[in-house]
Amino acid sequence: MRDRPIDIDRLFHALGDPTRRAILDRLVERPMSVSQLAEPLGITLTAVAQHLQILKDARLAHTEKVGRVRTCRIEPAGFRALEQWVRDHRTAWEKKLDRLGRLLAEEDVDT
Amino acid sequence: MRDRPIDIDRLFHALGDPTRRAILDRLVERPMSVSQLAEPLGITLTAVAQHLQILKDARLAHTEKVGRVRTCRIEPAGFRALEQWVRDHRTAWEKKLDRLGRLLAEEDVDT
DNA sequence: CAAATACTGAAGTTTTCACTTGACTATTTT
DNA sequence: AAAATAGTCAAGTGAAAACTTCAGTATTTG
């Protein structure tokens, strides 16, 4: 069922790749150029640029080109959306766990 | 079946698919058979079974076969691992944002 | 027992993904 | 101005993902 990518799809997809998480981990430390990002990754500049596009689509990073250098930074919006998703779903899961707990307790008495 | 540590790649990958998130949303309500899960999804039983395997690998769901029926339930371990990942990373991102704020403030005085 | 039900397994198809190459543009540096 | 640097673009490759079909295997049910 391949349907239109919604925000949360892009987010999870972006975070699902170890190279992209490594990029984010380094950008958390400080803003960096595409070349600087590429250096320890052992992949081409092109590949890094492609990862950056995906991170940008997920609003986990943003970039700005000045002269010939593109400077990359993390952007909090994507991360905050993830936090929101987790918050929204935690409630549902907790309710389910409560109910499961109650059912198990009832079984002890009841069955 | 092995009780390996939860792999964050598998987790994000599992959650990155809308069909799988739909499956989880329904399993949060109540345990269900594979057929019941398949019915509103418009995909084959086989496809659902494949999604379930991925959810199982991410420890977001687990299943048990009794007779000819496989009953599927959510499993909290994967979700908790996600929450832990978010917690771990929030601190780092917050620090970065603090530092960015401070750097901008310093620039005003300093540069 | 025969038929229906609930899945399972293997293999094939199509699409998407991560990554490359190589040619190109734009900006510094010397 | 020539050379080096930083990145971009278009196209291609191989592998993984998300399905499918079809032929089973158990397990109920009539």
Q: What is the pLDDT of residue B110?
A: 37
If one counts every other C-beta atom within 10 angstroms of the C-beta of residue A53, the result is 13
Token pair 């940008």: residue:
A56
Nucleotide lying nearest to A16, CA to C1' measure: C17
Output the average pLDDT for chain B: 86
Q: Enumerate domains of chain B plus CATH numbers.
A: 8-110 (1.10.10.10)
For chain B, 111 residues long, the average pLDDT of each consecutive 10-residue run is: 75 97 95 96 96 97 96 94 93 70 48 35
pLDDT in tens, B93-109: 777 666 655 554 554 44
CB A57 within 8 A of CB A96: no
pLDDT of residue B91: 83
Residues of B in contact with A82 (CB under 8 A): 86
What's the mean pLDDT when you consider all of chain A?
A: 85
pLDDT-derived band at A5 (thresholds 50, 70, 90) equals very low
Smallest Cβ–Cβ distance between B18 and the set A3, A16, A92 belongs to: A3
Tell which residue, B69, B63, B40, B68, has the closest CA to residue B50: B63
What count of CB pairs under 8 Å joins A to B? 58
CA torsion angle for A63, A64, A67, A70 (degrees, to 10)? -10
What are the tens digits of pLDDT across the range A48-70?
999 999 999 999 999 999 999 99
